[in-house]
Amino acid sequence: MITTLDHLKDGDIATIHEILGGHGIRHRLNNLGIHPKDQVEVIRSGYLGGPMFIKVHDIQVGIGQGMAKKIEVEVAP
């Protein structure tokens, strides 16, 4: 099933399908080591519009929900 990252819950694991944002977002995520086909784990989802805490490879990243909406992920059924 394909959804966006902001919909995932605590402990969910998914594969990044596509990054929907423009040039700026692609570069920022790439710089942090987040690419399509990478596996992403949600350690803590966002509350009250706050950011979510994710792990990609061994890198932990805090990411705002606005950004998370632009990351399309594939969740294993």
Partner 1 sequence: MIRVALVGQPNCGKSALFNSVAGYKAMVSNFPGTTIEYLSSQVLINGDRFDLIDLPGIYSLSSPESEELISRRYLLREHPDVIINIMDASVLSRSLELTLELLDLQIPMVVCLNMMDEAQKKGIQIDVDHLSQELEVPVIPTIAIRGSGVTELFKTTLDIAHSMSHGKIFSFSQDIEDVVSKIGSLAHEALVKNTGSSRRFLSLKFLEQDKEFEDQIFKSAPALMPALKKLRKEISDCRGKPADMAILSERHALAMNLFEHVAKVRPRKKRSVRIQIDKYILHPVLGYVLLAGILFGLFTLVFGFGKEVEAPLLAQFERWALYLNQHVEKGSLFSFIMNGLIQGFTGGIGIVLPYLIPFIIGLSLLEDIGYLPRAAFLMDAIMHRIGLHGKSVIPFVLSYGCNVPAIMAIRILEKPRDRYITAILATLIPCAARTTIIFAIIGFYLGPLYALSLYLFNILVIAVAGKILSMLMPEPSPGLVLEIPSYRLPTLSALCKKTWFRLREFIVIAWPLLIVGSLILSLLEYFKLSGFINDLLSPLISSVLGLPEAVGITLIFGILRKELTLVMLVQALGTSDFSVVMTHAQMLVFTVFSLFYVPCLATLGMLRSVIGTRGMVLTLIFTTGLAILIALFFRIVPVIF
Residues that bind partner 1 (CB under 8 A): 21, 23-33, 35-36, 43-44, 47-51, 53, 55, 57-67
Minimum distance of partner 1 from residue 8's CB (angstroms): 16
Nearer to partner 1, 17 or 55 (CB): 55
| Residue 27 vs 39, nearer CB to partner 1 | 27
Distance between CA atoms of residues 43 and 13, nearest Å: 9
Residue 61, Ramachandran bin (φ over 0: left; ψ between -120 and 50: alpha; else beta)? beta
Distance CA 73, CA 55 (A): 14
